[in-house]
Amino acid sequence: MAGKKTRNFLIGLLALAVLAAALSLFPSGKKSLPPSGYIPFRDDALAARYCPVFDCPSAYGPILAVYYRAARDESGLIHLAYHPVWARERNDAPGLKPFLSRVLYTGGLSLQRAMFGKGDIEAVGLAVDPASGSVLEIRYETARAYSPSDFSVSHEYVVESQPGAGRPLFAVVSWNHLFRLEGSATQAQAAAPRPALAYFSASLWNAYGMWKNPETLLRKDRAHFVWERGAAE
pLDDT in tens, 2-36: 566 556 554 554 544 445 545 545 565 666 777 78
Per-residue pLDDT at 17: 47
Cβ atoms of 125 and 83 closer than 8 Å: no
Cβ atoms of 179 and 142 closer than 8 Å: yes
Per-residue pLDDT at 226: 94
Rounded to a whole number of angstroms, the distance between the first and last alpha carbons of the chain is 62
Domain count of the fold of the chain? 1
Parent domain of 141: 2-229
DSSP for residue 170:
E
Helix (H, G, I), strand (E, B) or coil at 55: strand
Per-residue pLDDT at 119: 94
d(CA 24, CA 16) in angstroms, rounded, equals 12
Quote the pTM value.
Answer: 0.87
Regions of the chain where pLDDT drops below 70: 1-31
DSSP for residue 217:
S
Q: Share the mean pLDDT of the chain.
A: 88
Per-residue pLDDT at 111: 84
The 10 Å Cβ neighbour count of residue 179 is 25
